[in-house]
Chain A
Amino acid sequence: MDKVMRMSSEKGVVIFTKSSCCLCYAVQILFRDLRVQPTIHEIDNDPDCREIEKALLRLGCSTAVPAVFVGGKLVGSTNEVMSLHLSGSLVPLIKPYQSILY
């Protein structure tokens, strides 16, 4: 889906979320702790919500939200993000986008 492709290839860390999703919130907190400011797309307020969800699933995301993209590439949902982080592979991935301050 074009919209999803366009939004996901934005620079830095992009996360598709829903306002009611608390796991999405948890993932955002994690990135904030890693000194990253992700671009958040809350899809439940988008008229194309259903299509976006389907597109995200088709792209290979285990659950539609949260869907995390880094540098245009799909990282995955909560499971994948947690696994990457514990194995130490997440930080090198987001290093270019980490804020130097604090």
Chain B
Amino acid sequence: MNTTSTHFVPPRRFEVYEPLNQIGMWEESFKNNGGMYTPGSIIIPTNEKPDSLSEDTSHGTEGTPHKFDQEASTSRHPDKIQRRLAQNREAARKSRLRKKAYVQQLETSRLKLIHLEQELDHARQQGFYVGNGVDSNALCFSDNMSSGIVAFEMEYGHWVEEQNRQISELRTVLHGQVSDIELRSLVENAMKHYFQLFRMKSAAAKIDVFYVMSGMWKTSAERFFLWIGGFRPSELLKVLLPHFDPLTDQQLLDVCNLRQSCQQAEDALSQGMEKLQHTLAESVAAGKLCEGSYIPQMTCAMERLEALVSFVNQADHLRHETLQQMHRILTTRQAARGLLALGEYFQRLRALSSSWAARQREPT
């Protein structure tokens, strides 16, 4: 809408050099607005008195210079004044009508927007794909889910920083002379740090389990090795084992048993996940396809998806227990070397992701 109405133009614009009739229009329109705004220093050449305070007090000072011009012309051309006033009234009236129409248009658009947002929400709940070619869960701006995930990502950033600091400290300390007591506290801290991550993930899984399942917060190389939202416990043991030498016979036996039971537990969970996928697929495909209506299938599928959160928690529990058992079997020094090795392994994976991404960007 063309807002040429003087209502919307800040009074500052009306310098001394503006044509006189525009000033008249401005005053007139304000006067006709039931005395909403009558600047004290602008005097209409009638018996009008300034009464109500204006919303825009700056006009008061601006108006002063024009007072004298008006009084000068009033005495010489009364008819012209009357005609001008009438024109002003008409212009002001039209201006008010335009404003009213504009406001009504805004109101309608606002209601429409609210309605659209509600439809969008409803559609999302039904599980329809809503997005712009990117996973909608990663793009949510408006709903509560995203703020929890955003918080998680920030927390994870801090977690990685602390992780890197701990790894550097372990490296420095292990290359020098360090007491077992000091080493033990470093090991305890490193363990607690991993456990903290599992707690963070558990909270995030409640907000958006797909986010956690897909390892969205991890780098690409880490995600390549993803197993139910994190690293494979058996893989972890495989990476660490060479760093524990020398192991006592008892330790060797314990580690072998741990590897085996870890593998068995992993296999059991993997098969449970497969069954979940299978039953979910069945739920989605149930009834007749090609019919165009699928609300009951959605409801059933949603119920199945609830189980996904438990699986993510169980997988993290397995990681937790694996780390815990390692800590039990190994001496403090071995555990420290193991944690250093583990930390560096993940650092290397992250570095690999960056290098690979950089390579992709290079012109060939």
Contact = CB atoms under 8 A, between A and B. Distances in A.
Are chains A and B native binding partners rather than an unrelated pairing? yes
Interface of A: 20-23, 25-27, 29-30, 33-34, 63, 78-79, 82-83, 85-88, 90-91
B262 A86 contact: yes
A26 B264 contact: no
Contacts of A87: 321, 325, 328
B286 to A, nearest CB: 14
Interface of B: 254, 257-258, 261-262, 264-265, 267-269, 271-273, 275-276, 279, 303-304, 307, 310-311, 314, 317-318, 321-322, 324-325, 328
Nearest to B276: A22
21 contacts: A21-B307, A22-B272, A22-B276, A22-B307, A22-B311, A23-B272, A23-B311, A23-B314, A26-B268, A30-B264, A30-B265, A30-B268, A63-B310, A78-B314, A79-B314, A79-B317, A82-B321, A86-B318, A86-B324, A87-B321, A88-B257
Given A22-B279, A29-B268, A88-B257, 17 more contacts: A20-B304, A23-B310, A25-B271, A26-B271, A26-B273, A29-B271, A30-B264, A33-B267, A78-B310, A82-B265, A82-B314, A83-B317, A86-B258, A86-B261, A86-B265, A88-B261, A90-B261
Nearest to A30: B268
Contacts of B276: 22
Nearest to A32: B268
Nearest to B325: A86
B254 A85 contact: no
A86 B328 CA distance: 11
A86 B233 CA distance: 11
A49 to B, nearest CB: 16
A50 to B, nearest CB: 17
B273 A22 contact: yes
A12 B275 CA distance: 26
Contact of A82 (B279, B311, B317): B317
A17 B224 CA distance: 33
B198 to A, nearest CB: 13
A27 B307 CA distance: 14
